[in-house]
Structure 1
Amino acid sequence: MKRIFLVSCFTLFTLFSFGQEFLKGKDLSQIKAAQFSEAEIAQIGKELKANQMTLEQAEPLALAKGMSATEFNQLKVRLQSNGAVPTEVKEEQKKPAGTTQEGSVLAAKNAVVFGSELFTSKSLSFEPNQNMPTPPNYVLGPGDQLDINVYGVQQFGYSGTISKNGTINIPNIGEVFLSGLAFEAAKNKLQKQIGRIYSSLAGNGSKLSVSVSNYRTILVTIIGAQQSGNYRLSSMSSVYNALHVAGGPSDIGSYRKIELIRNNKIIRTIDLYRFLTKGDQSDNVSLTDNDMIRIPSYEARVTLEGEIKRPGIFEMVAGENLNQVISYASGFTENAYKNRILVKQKTISELKITDLNEMTYASYLPKAGDMISVDKILDRYENRVQIKGAVFRPGEYSLPANGTMTIKDLLKKADGVTENVFLEKASLIRQKENLTKEYISFSLQSALNGDEAANMTLQKEDVVVVFYNQQLLDSYKLYIDGEVRKPGDYTYVSGMSLYDLLLEAEFFTDLAASDVTIFRNKKDIVYDANDKEKIITFNLTIDPKNPEQASSFLLEPQDQVVVRRIVTFETPQMVSVTGEIFYPGGYAISKKDERVLDFITRAGGTSSEADKEAINVIRNQLVIPIDWKLMSKEPNSSSNLIIEAGDNIFIPNKKSTVLISGGVMFNTEVPYRKGKNAKYYIKNAGGAAEKGWMKKVYVVHANGSASASSSVFGIRKYPKVFAGSKIIVPEKPEKTKASTGEIVGIASVLASLAGILLAVFK
């Protein structure tokens, strides 16, 4: 038992170590996906999940560590088929477990640092295009694979790799030293060397084609990045590609002073802001073997917030002024108040603020930690007046820049007052200097006549309110419902009669009765608590063929008219009788409780070919079986179904076969033999198939009823079969087996339990 426990622990430790090795990014060039066991695949999946990393995120990291694309694709297929790792990280999993509050704030802060989007976007990678022609200045080295072809009068083809010694061994030519040569120079050298054997190259009878089919990998060291380390990249890679693979600068890394070190010398200082603000890719230089990219910590960062097009955190270099920082943020928004910018600064012991205006932007040099806030313009107008109410064009209007505007001038701008205006009174709402409001009433008629007292001079933010004449505004409705062609509500007009309303509703329908009811609100001037009646009802008799009788009844506002329907009128409800019947077709239900037998009798009875035992009723696409024998003996029984509108009574013809389908060797139709059960017919269909479930065999009879097999004391009893029946053998449900991951998990639990038991009983 102890030995088993130790072996289990050793296996788990080995798998865990392998998963850690994969994620920590050691040399993956020798890894073969086919050599992994299912347990190792499951462990890799667990490690990827523990690091909140998807397969898409792991791919560039694995390729950078030397793993070939073919091997990673094979590993990806195995991980996905095993279900060991998801293709996406859920939102709640994106925050690493155990992250401290300080670390969370720092990560959130870094997310808005200008330039960080270069390394968080999945659609941007700066990956070199290896399908493009080899650049003439590309320097060859050991590991580059060349395709060399001579075509024309003479033909020759060879594909080889430059050796560690820097040479390529070409058949019939010998070794040619190419390492360290630019591609164009190497091509010229090969032209001369190969031309010694293939003489047609010198006379242009043949041509030489040279291309790099597979680029070598180079080792690049990146420090100060989100994922610092040694990376194996394509020799076509550039600085931006290497930075993207490493996740970009760390949370405290600089975006402005990234150093490219070659042979222990800084050969270039990279400023990513040149690319972000101007599209300048001059810093995106090609890398060579053993290059180092060092990202130092930033020297100064400032924060821009408020009415800025791109708020965020911006890195500063010595000598940059506020104008340059604002340009990095793409300038101000349209609502920015540019004449005052508030700067919060950190001193040695406390904070202080500084106000800047447009004249001081160029002279102010931001300091580390500055928080620069741009406020918005005030939400008010310097020259606005408004007019509301009974004018043709209410809304906002501007005061003239030079001169004044009176109430009469504003009414003229609004195209005058409407016909239903109240001329006796209007209001002017004026805002005082203390921002309170006062209401000034004036005669609208006097203002229109130019009276100086009423026609006041307007100030900014004045609001003129012109009232409607309420007596002219009042409008009432009438309502009509029931058997008229256009029921609904209609506008009341003084003196309107019931005939007028019927005329608007396009008179009566064919189903209208002569009974017309009008409901009217009771309008009492004096309130009577004992009077419980609130509605007055008028019952009229109007001949639908002579609606002019209604012209004598005058309507009042809010009256509701209801035209009743003929009591005895009903649309015929139809039933169809089909199949082996003498007179098939449609029949109307003549009384409410008509049954199946009544309709069969009305249709002339069944023919000699009818299978009475198979009669059924189809209702709403569902089949209702009918027991003919019981229905004939007891006409009032439930089997003699009461028919509903839309039912179809179907009388099929006689059949002499039985259909067998489902989990049998051969779906077929077998001649009916009286007295034989379902098992006999299944045997005639070749017997049950491998997935056939004999315990669940059931029979659907010709009339739509069904019978299932049963078991009594372990003896299987199959249902009776009649002519026209269908025997159905269902298939057994598939059993799901435990996955490899589940088995590994169970084994881990058992090993842990074994360790506990060993410790208890030791």
Structure 2
Amino acid sequence: MIDTLSRLRLTGRAFLFVVAALFSLQSFALQPTPAQLEQFKRLPAAEQARLAQQFGVDIPNVNAAQTPVVAQTNSVMPVAQQQVAESVGGEINTNTEMEEGKLPAFGYDLFAGQPTTFAPITDIPVSSDYVLGPGDSLKVNLYGKESQFFELVVDQEGQVYIPDLGPMSLAGLDFSEAKEKIKKTIDQKMIGVKASVSMGSLRSIRVFVLGEARVPGSYVISSLSTMTNALVLSGGVSELGSLRNIQLKRKGKLVQSLDVYDLLLKGDTSGDAQLKSGDVVFIPAVGPQVAIKGQIKRPAYYELKGNGSVSDLLSYSGGMLASAYPQGATLERVNEQNEREFLNLDLSLNADINRTLKNGDQITLPKILPKVENVIKVVGHAERAETRRWTPGLRVSDIIQSVEYLKPEPDLNYALIKRYSKPERTLSVHAFSIADALKSKQSEADPVLQDLDELVFFGLYGDRSEEVVKLVEELRQQASISTPSKEVSIGGNVRYPGVYPLVENMTVENLLSAAGGLTEKAYLSSAELNRTTINEQQDRIQDRRIIQLSDATAISSKLQARDVLTVKAIPEWAETKQITLRGEVKFPGVYPFHKNDTLADVIERAGGLTEYAYAPGAMFTREDLKTQQAQQLREMQSRLEADIAKAEVVAANQTTLDASKAQGLGEAQGLLDKLKTTPALGRLVIDLEKVITRQEAYSISLKDGDELFIPERKSSVTVIGEVQLPVSQLFEQELDYWDYIERSGGMTDKADDERIYIIKANGGVQMPDSSSWFASNDAQLAPGDTVVVPLDADKIDQVVLWRDMSQIFYQIALGAAAVGSL
């Protein structure tokens, strides 16, 4: 009977526990087991309602509760991180963006936010000294003679009920003691049976988080929870709360103080005490705050504990960066008169590093200067542009130990040293010869280098203007009314004409070396040196001297600022010029020619014409004429495009467009398309027969790039333009141009029969009737000629301005005729 009553009492307590889990307040985070849910569902509806009324809640959907549910209270939704940013003179502000010059407050992001869940911790190992209490459960496995498993729940009286053995008191025992007691009891009362005991689900406890918490209140948490667990559950410490003195109070007495800085900076959890039911975690107001920024690892605001020093603040912030300048630190402070003041600190001194800080202090650590001391730079035509350490007495040969250090083909006669004198950092430029420096080491030819010197090397055949121009521009910036710019110029027949820095004791020979030396056509007998000076009355005085560059004494003359040296070319010097002969000559090819050579001379050198040559069809082209014709074609194309665009605008503004206007636009667009494909020939009309026979007053001089093409004999005449069928026809002596037009089907209704003209085989143009436009009125046709029937613009509606039509049509016809003669 007693056993039955005990079981009923245990079952009733289990039901109460189930109901408490199902109908928990929002502060609970318990999840009933499936077995407990089944027990609750077996209760009568009236009993379920009574229990719900007793706890003051609605009956939840038990079926839905079969899905594991985590309590939603104190669920922490992510919030924008708020940090204490500024605390000067006792005022505290929140800031988040360091990019705007605002500092965060250290440590507040550790707990910031709202918890998304805080279910009791049941799945972590339990220490052997954990003291059991009501609500804890133990899992017991029996093995041996019998095999069973059951879960024992500690009731409110500290007892558990073991089937077949009855109740057992575990009140006040820790887990290891309770484990041994159960195992010993089963071993004594159940022969042949052994027990394995482990910890089941843990009880929940209620604690309070008060003070400057983000969400202060009462919380039900796991019995294994610590102070930091409670802080996370409450959303963390607000910007007004202290991180240095979080207090744990039990029954009104202070039990433990937690310094979050120890946890964050040292990983020390010794102050994170375990909580018990009824404990209070209290967060007092924030203490004195100081800031540090600049070249520091963790710029932020920090809370002081006691009399904090600069050394403590540096420790909190992780120390200085390598780029910090501790001797230049500043301390901003509000003094007793409530005025801001700045103090200079030298953090390499113990006196300043141990200085006591006050609430609102702010330390700024500046950055070291970007300049580098005790270095030599190597730039230009070197294999490696690098920076080397400078030591007193260092020379060029110590840096450039051999020519292998430089890129291929270096200029061994000219290199520069870019030097800034201290303290005003005035630029001066010094020149030296690499060859002399390597040949005579440790001599005057091997310059001694100074701190921050820059060695500039040049290639013998590379452009040196970029580096030189920078130097000259900097020298010009230093010039004044009493000190002219230290620069000299050289032009003419040198490799690299231009402006160069004037170095100390610079001579004409040095300037020639700077310019890369003379070219092959330099005239040594006469170079001009122009000099301009300003006297005391500020009158401009100019002087010109003639220097023989082959005279060692003359080229050793010293230069002055703004001297200009001009190196002339050898008289009658000319580069090799060439003409190309193609087609029916005995020896076609490229022929160089002299200044006085003529076209007849070159043809004679080429062996003359072959027996198949057609002299009247010779095509002679010249580069400058080709350039000129190409420009004319572009201009005509541009004007025609503009005319068409205007006509299209006019047509677009008209409600109807008749057929003649549409036809006019189509004709214009067709001409434009042909004009775009018309090549610039650069053809010069010549009579080759007169050239070959060397007729008086018909001598053609030559230019570089000229080309002569002599075609084979022709036996056809071509008709193009406004005819029914533009075609080439066999030449017949007795036919005139009208006959060929008729054989091409006659003219179209758009033809201009009054302006028909003939393009001769040599490129000349003839009119059938007398005209002052052309040089010849001989209208007799010959093989290779082209008859052109132009378009009559008067027969088309004037939608397009046909101002260039004649020229356009002529250029198109000329191009077509030239192609046909090839």
TM-score, normalised via structure 1 length = 0.47
Tell which structure's C-alpha radius of gyration is larger. Answer: 2
TM-score (norm 2): 0.44
